[in-house]
Amino acid sequence: MPARLCYSNAAQYAQDHQDQGLLYAEGFARTLDVYLSHAWTLRPDGTVIDPTWDDEPGRAYIGITVADPALWPYDGGGILQEYGRLLPLLRDGFRQNALADLGRPLTDRLPRE
């Protein structure tokens, strides 16, 4: 899909493949040893499908999986990067069941103090 349009690419790809259970995800992805704001899709088993970037070894993704298609940014800018989309979420939070628990946790345990 077109470069530099990852948010709308991921939203549209997830929409087009809902029969496969794909969901929209957004956060940061590592490429060329730097982390960039990015969006991708996830399978129900947590496997990343990135409709914008090619499948390059060493990629890493960290973010949130949004289960509610009404929140997916079909028109461009990301949920977490665009002030107009982010402010209501910071103020009110996500609706119940808007997020999906997919992927792998960063750690199995919280650090002890």
Q: What is the pLDDT of residues 44-83, one digit of tens each?
A: 998 999 999 887 777 889 999 999 999 999 888 898 888 8
Instruction: Write down the residue that tokens 């919280």 correspond to.
Output: 110
- The whole-number average pLDDT for the span 35-49 is 92
Question: Which has more confidence, 8 or 35?
Answer: 8
Alpha-carbon distance of 110 to 45, in angstroms, equals: 23
Question: Higher-confidence residue: 66 or 101?
Answer: 66
pLDDT for position 100? 84
What is residue 111's predicted lDDT score, i.e. its pLDDT? 58
- CB 47 within 8 Å of CB 55: no
Q: Given the DSSP bridges, would you call strands 23-31 and 60-66 parallel, antiparallel or unpaired?
A: antiparallel
Q: If you average pLDDT over every residue of the chain, what do you get?
A: 86
pTM, two decimal places = 0.83
Tell me the residue length of the chain.
113
Report in angstroms the alpha-carbon separations of 75 from 5, 41, 87, 90, 106. Answer: 9, 16, 18, 21, 30
In angstroms, the CA 32 to CA 48 distance is 18
